[in-house]
Copies of this chain bind each other. A is one copy, B any other.
């Protein structure tokens, strides 16, 4: 460990203490927030921001700059203070903390130009950081590095260990994880207290180079950053022993100070420790300009080749998704695929085969799968398509929720939906995925029913800025559309239309075929049914639904391989709710299903053609 100059030490300590003071002042002004969680990290932040990280204050989100993720998002006052110290924010800016007219929010969001991902739901930052680091090392092949500051309490979150295992597996030596071990959680001491050696052992077992430091000693911290910088082949974890509320007399290391402002007069004692160096003396090194230029503007992402099917060919939509993803990847080197060891089922392996360098295997860790994808899309570096069984996206629902708060440009493809997967049984059947993804603000939800529309949905997804869900199915079903058919977001297709129609049937995926079968059956009995393929579940094509519902006499039957809540029936009911005359009946899966052959289950759970015919006959 090379000794540092007294000047540098004094400058860094002063920066840390100025940031401490600012964090206290802003939370006092806001009358809420987390000053104690902030001050434990003051020296960590000062040394990182003013002696290690490379960035340009004029362009905090430059593709070339080092990334910093504050996984312990509640400590954001110290992050705002760091950017104040760096000159990006004024003191007036940071004093607007938590005000409704300020983007200096209670937890960080990318409304601010120096935030890549929203944090505040603990344990998610390291996955995002690992996604950025993976892209930096393997796709950008650039020299920027990624720093992620976590709390100790949040290391109880399993997502941290999913990310840690991923980071070491891919030897992400451009990633530094820092744990601010300040001992105290929200409601009591953490599981591990100040046993920093246990944190070290855990990260070591998960493949990290590890160091324990006194997190309030700038010399030890600078040494740690140097070790991390020089460690090759593995990521580094710095375990920093700190005190919650450090520097605040009568508060530091005491219980019951989580999430509470501290009296402003505590500031005087901190100021008394200033060595006399002034703000602005320390500046960050500029980044190396070696990240390639990437242009992923909306509307520019096309498949290499159009769909190539014959009507009636039996193709599963999951297979068509894989084909489309491979075609997108072939034409666009920044379209990437990620999967959770289901690539031979979701068919994302088609991209792996076509473009191995554009595929990231994330193993059986869906939280990290989504977190890595969120990280990978930051600063417009890639368009990530994450795939797994749709049911297993439920494992990452918090990451998806936070992805929305991050305004992430993320595509999720979930296969194996509903009872129509068959014998594997209910644990593998997605029956709440539409509810889940529809409830993501700003999301788009596609539910293509055949191979042509599945390919087009995938292509459209790549050209929507936001979270998109593609619901794909397991069974191979007949191609319904010509290859030339045009598809648009939010536009349904009317598959059967006749002036004698007396009922509107709405299905998607396997149930669309059941609707068509039912329409055939009914036709034999002289009953004519309009059949609509929604294609997009959100935004829903209310106009087309209402138009045809009114035309057929206001009777709509929805049929879905999904539970009632948040599914197609509710979406349609809500879409027509203000029309005032349209009646909607919903056929859906009502109870926990079971194992069995797909067709038998579709019938047993009441969503087969037979049940649709009965429902039509009983609809008076």
Q: Which residues does A use to contact B, with CB under 8 Å? A: 30, 32-33, 73, 98-103, 105-107, 109, 111, 118-123, 153-154, 156-162, 165, 169, 185-188, 190-191, 198, 201-202, 204-207, 339, 341-345, 349, 361, 363-368, 391-392, 394-395, 397-398, 401-402, 404-405, 407, 423-428, 431-432, 435-436, 438-442, 538, 554, 563-567, 569-571, 573-574, 576-586, 589-592, 594-597, 600-601, 604
Q: Are B566 and A577 in contact (CB under 8 A)?
A: no
Given contacts A206-B202, A439-B565, A441-B592, contact A121 B156 (CB under 8 A): no
Closest 3 CB pairs of A and B: A158-B158, A120-B427, A100-B596
Q: Are B365 and A121 in contact (CB under 8 A)?
A: no
Instruction: For A341, give its contact among B162, B188, B442 (CB under 8 Å).
Output: B188
Contacts of A407 in B (CB 8 A): 592
Q: Are B583 and A577 in contact (CB under 8 A)?
A: yes
Contacts of A165 in B (CB 8 A): 156, 191
Given contacts A120-B425, A154-B364, contact A585 B577 (CB under 8 A): yes
Given contacts A32-B423, A161-B161, 20 further A-B contacts (CB under 8 A): A32-B424, A107-B424, A107-B426, A109-B594, A120-B424, A120-B425, A121-B392, A121-B427, A156-B165, A158-B367, A186-B344, A186-B345, A204-B205, A436-B439, A438-B565, A439-B565, A441-B592, A577-B586, A579-B583, A580-B583
Q: Are A121 and B391 in contact (CB under 8 A)?
A: yes
Interface centre among A101, A573, A604 (most CB of B within 10 A): A573
Q: Are B601 and A100 in contact (CB under 8 A)?
A: yes
Look across to chain B and name the residue whose beta carbon is closest to the beta carbon of A121: B427
Q: Are A441 and B121 in contact (CB under 8 A)?
A: no
Number of copies of chain A assembled together: 2
Look across to chain B and name the residue whose beta carbon is closest to the beta carbon of A554: B580
Closest CB-CB distance, A519 to chain B, in whole Å?
21
Instruction: For A158, give its contact among B157, B341, B604 (CB under 8 Å).
Output: B157
Instruction: For A109, give its contact among B73, B391, B425 (CB under 8 Å).
Output: B425
Inter-chain CA distance A585–B73, complex, in Å, is 36
Q: Mind listing 26 A-B residue pairs with CB under 8 Å?
A: A98-B423, A105-B595, A106-B423, A107-B595, A120-B425, A120-B426, A121-B428, A156-B363, A157-B158, A157-B395, A158-B367, A158-B368, A185-B364, A186-B344, A201-B205, A391-B398, A405-B427, A431-B439, A435-B439, A439-B565, A441-B589, A441-B591, A554-B580, A570-B573, A570-B574, A576-B577
